[in-house]
Amino acid sequence: MPDSKEDQLLHRIRTHAFSRLPFNKRETTNLHLDEHVYKEGEKIGPEFQKIVAARPSILVFADHDPRANFGHDCSYLLYDAKSGDFHREFPARFPPIADVTKPKTLRPFHEPVAFVDTPIRFRWYPPIWRCPVILTEGTRYALLYSGMSNKRHLNDMEFLYRTLIDVYAFDPAHIYSLSYDGTLNTQDGVQTNWPGDGTPYRINITGQGNRAAFEAAVDTLKTKMHGLDTLLIHCNNHGDYDGTPGTSFLCTYPNWGKYYNADFSNKLAELPKFRQLIVMLEQCNSGGFNASILAKSPASATSVASAAIESQSSYVSADGNWDPFARDWIAAQAGHDPFGAALAFNPDTDGDGKIEAEEAFGYANAVKIALDSPNFSESSEAGGDIALGQQYRIWWWWCFILYEALEKYRIELPPKEYSERLRRLQPELTKLTAELDRTSDELRRDLKTKVKALVGSAFDKK
């Protein structure tokens, strides 16, 4: 038994909290004791939950679905700070503490659902071929958002950022990345090395994960976007809904603010008309955004892929490092998983060398964990056909010539080095391919030789 009176009081509280769990919940609920003593009248958790300590209290936080992103069912159990007597249980949807600048006072004492920080992974890099961008038609932009970020949300965004840069040759200046307090900070602390390959994070965080920063990014895009442009929007972190259809919201930094789907979609409606909008949403209850985005999108073609229907949560991977739906959607676009390993199958179901919005969703949905409830919406068939690769107006067979010339370097070199070298030679490739519309099969044979020589000069240099 505990020795001191304080230890005995806390032991009594822990024992009572555990004993309240139904038998069938004891292997699925995590219990945390808050070392902070709440004063009478002190607010506990997000403002909108309206939970206040009626007396000096000790809190036990019961997470009833630990692998789900918030919001989801949880409970605040309050005990008298002097006697340890139980006096109130509050149903809740979000945890009591999220600000990383404040001391971490929640300590788990019953954690049947635990995450492993450093799982053992076999690493192999057999990426699926994606044709490099050659001739520009329209500009591609990306807006990545995560409000109350945990490390898993930042990890997902890093994977997408690397995919946009390394696979699809996005201009980094056209990627707006908004997360938590505007740094690599998260609710789990400051992140340094990405778990995918153990290297430092490369994502350039351009602002905080709040409504003001998101709308400021949209305002900037309003001055830049034109008719042939493409916009990717990815939202991660947490969300919930108010219990009735049409009330889904994203959580915003710093204290679980609500950014409702109607306000989000109305802001997107301010963009000028452009070619295509592709949206991927990971947060809980994200499916509640689909219809409003389609209704308000100024794009000629729009698609929205969401991790969960409006009434359901989305979930975290067993190791705590990823959100499976976002991870797998991005993996379909990248051609490999975050660890460089092969995919379960080739998402390119029509074999045209590009991954369309409905193909990325189809892959993520096919390999989904049972807890998620992915859903997909499109404005038209053109919405489902949106791809992240640049639009081009040249003969299709240039891709096969490049494939033969680049294949050995693509396999041998690390992805970052390969993509950097490829970007260096793209201006020269553009000059070569500009001739294709005016040539014949004889030029094809000649061009094949030139491309091989050009690639060799860039990749064979020591």
Give yes or no for residue 133 having a pLDDT over 60. no
**b (16+ CB within 10 A) / e for 31-66:** bbbbebebeeeeebbbeebebebeeebbbbbbbbbb
Of 398, 388, 395, 455, which is closest to residue 424 (Cα–Cα)?
Answer: 455
Give yes or no for residue 182 having a pLDDT over 60. yes
Distance CA 422, CA 404 (A): 14
What's residue 135's pLDDT? 47
Cβ atoms of residues 109 and 13 within 8 Å = no
The residue count of the chain comes to 462
Distance CA 335, CA 385 (A): 17
Beta strands in 336-461 (DSSP E): 375-378
What's residue 98's pLDDT? 65
Phi-psi region of 428 (alpha: psi -120 to 50; beta: other; left: phi over 0): alpha
Cβ atoms of residues 226 and 271 within 8 Å = no
Give yes or no for residue 295 having a pLDDT over 90. yes
318-334 pLDDT tens trace: 889 999 999 999 999 99
What's residue 409's pLDDT? 84
What's residue 233's pLDDT? 98
Helices marked H in 127-231:
151-162, 211-222
What's residue 152's pLDDT? 96
Q: How confident is the model at residue 239 (pLDDT cuts 50, 70, 90)?
A: very high
52-70 pLDDT tens trace: 999 999 999 999 999 999 9
Exposed, middle or buried: residue 237 (CB in 10 Å: 0-12, 13-18, 19+)? Answer: buried
Helices marked H in 3-103:
5-19
Mean pLDDT on 146-157: 97
> Which neighbouring-strand residues pair with 227?
none
> Which neighbouring-strand residues pair with 151?
none
Give yes or no for residue 185 having a pLDDT over 80. yes
Cα-based torsion angle of the residue sequence 116, 59, 15, 68 in order, rounded to the nearest 10 degrees: -40
> Percent of the chain at pLDDT above 70?
89
Written as six digits, the tokens of 138 are 């329209």
Distance CA 84, CA 11 (A): 9
> Which neighbouring-strand residues pair with 88?
78
Please name the amino acid found at residue 451. V
Average pLDDT across the chain, whole number: 89
Of 363, 251, 371, which is closest to residue 316 (Cα–Cα)?
Answer: 371
What's residue 193's pLDDT? 95
Distance CA 135, CA 434 (A): 8
259-272 pLDDT tens trace: 999 999 999 999 99
Helices marked H in 225-321:
261-268, 290-296
Distance CA 184, CA 161 (A): 14
What's residue 168's pLDDT? 87
Mean pLDDT on 116-127: 56
332-370 pLDDT tens trace: 999 999 988 889 999 999 877 789 999 999 999 999 999
Mean pLDDT on 80-93: 95
What's residue 428's pLDDT? 81
Between 16 and 117, the more confident residue is: 16
Mean pLDDT on 131-139: 65
- Ordered DSSP codes for 362-375: HHHHHT--TT---E
